[in-house]
């Protein structure tokens, strides 16, 4: 796989929902949030071991009205992922001494029980430039409104612990980038005159100017490595598309026997500016 002539070897590729929206997002100016990085990583430490961030059974059988309990398998690499990205921010801004304390206040990570649906809905998402979700995801191609991101159960809330597409539309975002580091977050239903209806579409509508989303079920460990490298490249000054390209190349070169197959590095794409 390492020597194949992939299209990405010649181009840094990104996608847009339409030419009109692409122009609008480039010309629209928003107040830049003062905080940098917000991440949610349920990790699901008490779940069964798993290598993927998808839920094939759930996507076919789950609905908000069902009594089926959503299985939550472990995603141990998501902890390393969001902490690794936080370290990239510190390194990028040359954080040390008192400045490091200041930067820590500009980044926030919610782990395990704190990474619940109610916190996502009630949190100050619009105060962060980069919002990162590292969790389970599933797409329902026939009824995209049922697609969702899975969070930790919260006994104090009436939420079902799955953030569905129709709930994403109600979020308030002002993010330069929302990264949906989960399975099938860019998968949905193609509607005539509307394009792809998916979780990604919901986050775009809610105020994300750029999205990093997946097209199939992704590996937990390789995704963690790819995401950290992506932020490292992006914060060095590269475009988001070029940063993803560099992160993909890194996986191929650094792990030729483990992650060089397109299954591991190709699911993620950039949508937006």
Domains and CATH numbers, the chain: 22-216 (3.40.50)
The answer to whether 268 and 234 are in contact (CB under 8 A) is no
pLDDT above 70 covers a percentage of the chain that reads: 84
At 61-77, the pLDDT tens digits run: 556 665 556 668 899 99
Banded pLDDT at 192 (limits 50, 70, 90): confident
The pLDDT of residue 52: 76
How is residue 203 written in tokens? 């986050």
At 67-112, the pLDDT tens digits run: 556 668 899 999 999 999 999 998 887 655 455 556 667 899 999 9
How is residue 214 written in tokens? 């997946």
The pLDDT of residue 131: 98
What's the pTM?
0.89
272 class by beta-carbon count within 10 Å (0-12 exposed, 13-18 middle, 19+ buried): buried
């Amino acid at each position: 796989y390492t020597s194949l002539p992939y299209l990405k070897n010649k181009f840094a590729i990104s996608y847009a929902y339409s030419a009109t929206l692409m122009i609008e997002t480039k010309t629209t100016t928003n107040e830049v949030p003062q905080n940098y990085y917000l991440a949610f990583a349920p990790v699901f430490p008490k779940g069964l071991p798993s290598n993927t961030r998808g839920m094939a059974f759930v996507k076919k059988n789950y609905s908000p009205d069902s009594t089926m309990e959503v299985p939550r398998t472990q995603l141990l690499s998501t902890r390393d992922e969001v902490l690794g990205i936080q370290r990239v921010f510190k390194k990028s801004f040359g954080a040390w001494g008192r400045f490091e304390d200041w930067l820590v206040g500009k980044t926030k990570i919610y782990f395990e029980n704190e990474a619940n649906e109610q916190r996502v809905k009630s949190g100050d998402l619009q105060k962060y430039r980069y919002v990162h979700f590292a969790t389970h995801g599933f797409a329902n191609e026939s009824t995209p409104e049922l697609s969702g991101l899975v969070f930790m159960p919260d006994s104090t809330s009436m939420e079902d612990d799955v953030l569905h597409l129709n709930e994403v539309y109600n979020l308030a975002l002002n993010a330069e980038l929302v990264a949906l580091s989960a399975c099938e977050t860019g998968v949905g239903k193609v509607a005539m005159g509307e394009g792809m209806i998916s979780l990604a579409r919901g986050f775009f509508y809610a105020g994300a100017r750029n999205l990093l989303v997946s097209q199939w079920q992704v590996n937990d460990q390789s995704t963690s490595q790819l995401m950290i490298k992506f932020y490292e490249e992006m914060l060095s000054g590269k475009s988001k598309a070029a940063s993803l390209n560099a992160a993909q190349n890194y996986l191929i070169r650094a792990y030729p026997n483990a992650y060089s197959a397109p299954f591991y590095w190709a699911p993620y794409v950039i949508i937006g500016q």
